[in-house]
Amino acid sequence: MKTLLTVSNVTKVYETGKRKVIGVHNVSFDIRQGEFVSVIGPSGCGKSTLLRCIAGFERINGGSIHLNGRKVKRPEPNRFMVFQGLDQLFPWLTLKENIIFAMRVVDKGQGNFGERAEHYLELVGLQGFGDFYPYQLSGGMKQRASIARALSVKPQLLLMDEPFGSLDAFTRRAVHEMLLQVWKKTGVTIIFVTHDLEEAVDLSDKILIFSKGRLKGQIDNKLSRPRERVDSSYRSFLLKISGFLDSEGSDSLDSKELSAAEAKLAF
């Protein structure tokens, strides 16, 4: 698979008053076409900042981000973000209108928007809810609809910033299932930011571990799908990653060591 996104030596510094806070420090990695990549780390580790840099919402202070060889400068629909907040749908539009709004802005010209909107609602399991207003939906349905809207503009990269962080555990299982199916059907590349380790292991092919603004390691997740949390291979993989996360405080682990350690893991 060819490389879709190249992040090289990206640094993002925030200025809060007189103090400078480093949000992301010299981070580099590649993401291949069609991959499902999770980014994990504790709150404030810079993982959301990194995602916002990739989206183009934040200007980076150093390094570069390229999508398909083109430099990322500003927000564009080819990298579309789904946020954690349950208020990201436009409340003055129905679900269908929300999707049509997005398609119309991006496509400009004519198209069978209504039919296409229905297709995307069906994709996320919301067929029949097109005429509902956002306030009439549960949290899980709102996030499904936000994903449908994001997909409707055919992004090359779907950026997800803890999209299920506000949902309860039951709803979360259901939307995980849905997201994996959508991923399989559309082949879209996904970067998924979360602080929930199990969520990352459930979903992704690759896990990037962040701490204090630095990329601490990249671990390939080769567990076969569907993944069951009770499987022993799942448990041992989870243990390994939490081990890495715990040792991160000592700052002793760099990417190289991690991939060496990862190579020793037997699945």
Partner 1 sequence: MRDFVSKLAFILVLAIVWELIRLTGRYPALLFPGIGSIASALWMERVDLIGRTLFSLRIIGIGLVTAVSLAMLATFMSFGGKIFAEVISDLMAIMHPLPGIAILPVAILWFGIGVRAILFVIVFSALWPLINHFYTGFRSIPINQLEVGRNLGLTGWELALKVMLPASFPHILSGLRTGWARAWQASVAAELVFGAAGGQGGLGWYLYKKRFMMETPGVFAGMLIIVLIGIGVEYLIFAGIENRTVRKWKTIIN
Residues numbered 139-158 forming contacts with partner 1, rule: CB under 8 A: 149, 153
Please report whether residue 91 would count as binding partner 1 according to CB under 8 A: yes
Is residue 170 involved in binding partner 1 (CB under 8 A)? no
29 in contact with partner 1 (CB under 8 A): no
Under the criterion CB under 8 A, does residue 55 sit at the interface with partner 1? yes
Residue 107 near partner 1 by CB under 8 A: no
Q: For residue 61, how far is the Cα from the chain centroid?
A: 22
Of the residues 57, 62, 243, 251, which one makes contact with partner 1 according to CB under 8 A:
57
Q: Which of 80, 210, 237, 244 binds partner 1 (CB under 8 A)?
A: 80
Cis peptide before 42 (omega within 30 of 0): no
Find all residues with CB under 8 Å of 47, minimum gap 6, and list them: 39, 40, 41, 193, 210
Q: Cα–Cα distance between 20 and 22 in angstroms, integer?
A: 6
CB atoms within 10 A of CB 240: 15
Is residue 197 within the footprint of partner 1 (CB under 8 A)? no
Query: In angstroms, what is the minimal distance from the CB of 33 to partner 1?
Result: 21
Does residue 165 touch partner 1 according to CB under 8 A? no
Question: Does 14 engage in binding with partner 1 (CB under 8 A)?
Answer: no
Query: For partner 1, how many residues bind (rule: CB under 8 A)?
Result: 24
Q: Is 265 in the site for partner 1 (CB under 8 A)?
A: no
Q: In this structure, what is the dihedral angle of CA atoms 113, 114, 117, 119, given to the nearest 10 degrees?
A: -110
Residues for the chain: how many in total? 267
Continuous H helices in 34-112: 47-55, 95-107
CA dihedral defined by 65, 81, 119, 87, rounded to 10 degrees?
-170
> Where do contacts with partner 1 occur on this chain (CB under 8 A)?
55, 57, 75-77, 79-81, 83, 85, 87-88, 90-92, 101-102, 105-106, 133-135, 149, 153
